Chains A and B, each alone.
Chain A
Amino acid sequence: MLFMEFALWLKGEVDRSSLNVTRVFDVFAERYDAWYDKPFGKSAFNLEIACITSLYKSLKQPSLEIGVGTGRFAEVLKIKYGIDSSVGVLGFAKKRGITVIRGKGEELPFLDKSFGAIFIIVTLCFVDEPIKVLEEASRVLRDDGYIILGLILRESPWANFYMRKGSAGNVFYKVARFYSLNELEAMLQKTNLKITEASSTIFEAPTEKPLRFENPRKGCYKNAGFVAIKTQKRR
């Protein structure tokens, strides 16, 4: 969701006709990062962090974020490793103390069963092959580890809000794809992952004003603006 807001923020300011996701992050890394300090961005970020952290008591290590971006989430969540295909954002993540590697989620450069916790936060909607990313995440996950996904479900009014606002020609919406809960469950099924816990936040109607803080609700609410889903390997 943060990315979509960022997309709106940039709307009309640049010629985006020749940009792809990796390139966008390369070129606009600094502005993307600064967006998190703006009133709406900050309020949404705090809600999303609270939602994610409600899913575990202690973070298993080593931990990895796929699509680490500028490292905002990884820094606060104390995630050790971050991978992203955009080199522009990785410099920021590195300054935030994260060990960064440039690479692609579909082809992770890690040994099998290396990580105790893996985070994929508002990233699945931007990857080329989500099933491959989940397969790879599962491969590098320890048998006792968990993967936490952070996303906006297609059923959410917030997804509609962004889709509507992204008018014709906005390349961000051409490359982004929201998945329904059914689609997500089918992808997890295929990749031998099961949902063990979920948490939802942002229940206000879509707005651009800063959001009030509230505690996340246990479970996966289709109307929420952000859901965090904890998955583990099926045995």
Chain B
Amino acid sequence: MEILACPIDKHYPLELYVFEEKEEIVEGLIVCPKCLRWYPIRDEIPEMLPDELRKESEDLPFLKKWREKIPEKILLEGKPFNLKRNV
């Protein structure tokens, strides 16, 4: 986290939300507070891909799975995908 910046607007620092933790963070969320892009941590790997490489079919289920622990702003306004239509 001490060197991670948003790949799109290069904002630093980013916010970290931990959902599941063993020796490392297994699942979690990294958020850019400036542009509201969110990046998942899955299988202990932070995925910081630009929008065009993101897959809605994989990312929406992730948001739904952890919706109780994700800030409402991200659920409703997060980029590149959010749950606004589903709320």
Interface residues on chain A, number (Cβ under 8 Å)? 21
Q: Say yes or no: is B47 at the interface (Cβ < 8 Å to chain A).
A: yes
Asked whether A90 lies within 8 Å of B45 as measured between CB atoms, the reply is yes
**Chain B, residue nearest A102 (CB):** B47
Would you call A103 and B49 a contact (CB within 8 A)? yes
Beta-carbon contact of A103 and B7 below 8 Å = yes
Q: For A107, give its contact among B4, B8, B12, B47 (CB under 8 Å).
A: B8
Query: When the two chains form the complex, which single residue of B3, B8, B43, B49 contacts A110, counting CB atoms closer than 8 Å?
Result: B3
User: Per a CB cutoff under 8 Å, which of B5, B6, B12, B45 touches A87?
Assistant: B45
Partner of B45, one of A22, A94, A104: A94
Contact flags (1/0) for B1-29 with A, using CB distance below 8 Å?
00111111010100000000000000000
Q: What 1/0 mask marks residues of chain B from 60 to 76 whose CB sits below 8 Å from any chain A CB?
A: 00000000000000000
Chain A binding surface SS class: mixed
- A91 CB within 8 Å of chain B: yes
B80 within 8 Å of A (CB atoms): no
**What A residues does B33 contact at CB under 8 A?**
none
Partner of B48, one of A62, A94, A102: A102
List the B side residues contacting A111 at CB < 8 Å.
3-5, 10, 12
* Residue with the highest number of chain B CB atoms closer than 10 Å, among A22, A62, A90, A107: A107
Known A-B contacts A103-B7, A104-B7; A109 and B48 likewise in contact (beta carbons under 8 Å): yes
Q: How far is the CA of A147 from the CA of B38 in the complex (A)?
A: 29
Give Cα A91 to B45, complex, Å.
Answer: 8
Q: Which residues of A contact B12 (CB under 8 A)?
A: 111
The interface bits of chain A over 137-169 (1 if a CB of B lies within 8 angstroms of the residue's CB, else 0) are: 000000000000000000000000000000000
Give Cα A112–Cα B39 distance, bound, in whole angstroms.
19
Q: Does B53 belong to the interface (CB within 8 Å)?
A: yes
A107 touches B44 (CB 8 A): no
* Residue A46 lies at the interface, judged by CB distance under 8 Å to chain B: no
Task: Give every chain B residue within 8 A of A107 (Cβ-Cβ).
Answer: 7-8, 50
Per-residue CB contact flags for chain A residues 92-117 toward chain B (1 = under 8 Å, else 0) read 00100000111110111111101000
- A residues within 8 Å of B by Cβ? 22, 62, 81, 85, 87, 90-91, 94, 100-104, 106-112, 114
